[in-house]
Amino acid sequence: MGEILTIGEPMVVFEAQESDVDLAKAQKFQKFSAGAELNVAIGMARLGHPVDYVSAVGADPFGVYLRHVLRTDGVADAAMLTKPGLPTGFYLKQRVSHGDPAVAYFRQGSAAANYQPEDLQTVSLTGVRFAHLSGIFAALSPNCLAAYRQLNADLVYNRIPVTFDPNLRPTLWDSQAEMVRVTNDLARYGTIVMPGLSEGRTLTGKQDPEEIADFYLQRGVTTKAVVVKLGAAGAFAKLADGRKFSVPGFTVPRVVDTVGAGDGFAVGLISSLLEGQPLPAALQRANVIGALAVQSPGDNDGYPTRPQLDQFYADHGLV
């Protein structure tokens, strides 16, 4: 297996080409790969880190396309099953001149949503140094939640660090109360918990980034740090030993698409920690890749290769 493992639902996204047009009226769309954990896998592979992606797709053109995308970017797909007779999920995404785009999902009953705990028999943790999990996969179905919990328990047993991103998708849950309860329970077993500020407020009822961090540090079973993503303002982090850091974000000339920025943040954080960088440096890289992500269409098109990342650091006088 690779040194990084993640599990999620891969999807195809069709992004509208006309700006600020309602999805029902848009006529032209461009196809991209999508899915929060898939984004992280692609971003890590572009920086030279071997990644294994665990999931399932249908035996359909979307599934074939996604497998091709993963292989092209160097992500191992041996643990991505094909489930004949079940569809691969997709969604439509609005193009906007400012703010977050509207989306419409078509993922109910997908191959990934039918992933079973016993499907994890194809997954080996040998050589895995880090795992990235998010609340999306757990929200897909009861069987996905069971598979998530089993994998997370295996990771904890093998002392493999886990980054947990809540990645709230309210439409996937039966109620907000269930979403909050289950997501906060899953967060207890993340080594690093990384909510966005808005997510943290929804999940904890707290308003201040440090209060949100304290909420998860106090309740965590394996939690050693909490990173609160602050968007353009950067990030705040607090460790279990009380140390805390605030790292500013980067101003970009134009925001094209905000979807995928949080996953890009995760790419920067995890890759830096794998390379032995201290947390403040990891937060800086996380902010860099998040800033690069919002300047490109598609959910992961803006994620840099290693030379591109090095060039950004040189252009901005970063160490």
Report the catalytic residues: 263
Residue found under tokens 């039966």 = 174
Whether residue 312 contacts residue 303, with contact meaning beta carbons closer than 8 Å, is answered with: no
DSSP β-bridge partners for residue 134: 165
| Contacts of 130 by beta carbon, 8 Å cutoff, 6+ apart | 3, 4, 5, 160, 161, 162, 163, 270, 273, 274
| Contacts of 31 by beta carbon, 8 Å cutoff, 6+ apart | 12, 13, 14, 65
Strands of 241-297, DSSP E: 244-247
Cα 154 → chain centroid: 20
Burial code (b: 16+ CB inside 10 Å, e: under 16) for 146-156 equals: bbbeebbeebb
Sign of CA dihedral 305, 309, 311, 312: positive
